[in-house]
Amino acid sequence: MVGPDAGVGANLHPPISEVAGFASYNRDDLDGILESWAPDAVLDWSNSHGFDAAVYRGHDEIRAFWQRLNSAFEEVRFDVVDLHEIEDGLVIAENVAYLRGRDGIKVQARSTLAITIPDGAVTSMTLYQTKREAMEAVGRE
């Protein structure tokens, strides 16, 4: 386990928060999110109990998803609270999303992401409700 801004694995530079796009997202830089994502990357949000549960493929669909999320809330911020390197290029990031709705109500949503980063480019990110679900999905528990 390492901190959210520590380099994970020899091939993950810059820090994981930037590679996966969290830091860019928190700066409201949607293009920056995708800079280190493969053009054919997959964002699997199908396990979501809330917003836009579906699978998004490629930069255009992923960008459109993030734009919809941003437009639905006045403020959205992702903080990585726990990070585990599973194998070269696969990490499990437990995160907290802080959302403030247009009505001013603040919501905190916890989830876990399995992120595949072979050769330094994100090829997939899958949302799970718990760390245990994510670890089971990648064959680690």
Fold of 16-137: Nuclear Transport Factor 2; Chain: A, (3.10.450)
Which residue reads 């919809």 in tokens? 68
Per-residue pLDDT reduced to its tens digit, 124-138 = 999 999 988 988 888
pTM of the model: 0.81
Provide DSSP, 42-106: EEE-TT-SSTT-SEEEHHHHHHHHHHHHHHHEEEEEEEEEEEEEEETTEEEEEEEEEEEETTS-E
Task: Give 122 or 8, the one with higher predicted confidence.
Answer: 122
Output the pLDDT for position 15: 60
Burial of 43 (0-12, 13-18, 19+ CB in 10 A): buried
The phi-psi region of residue 75 (left if phi > 0; otherwise alpha if psi is between -120 and 50; otherwise beta) is beta
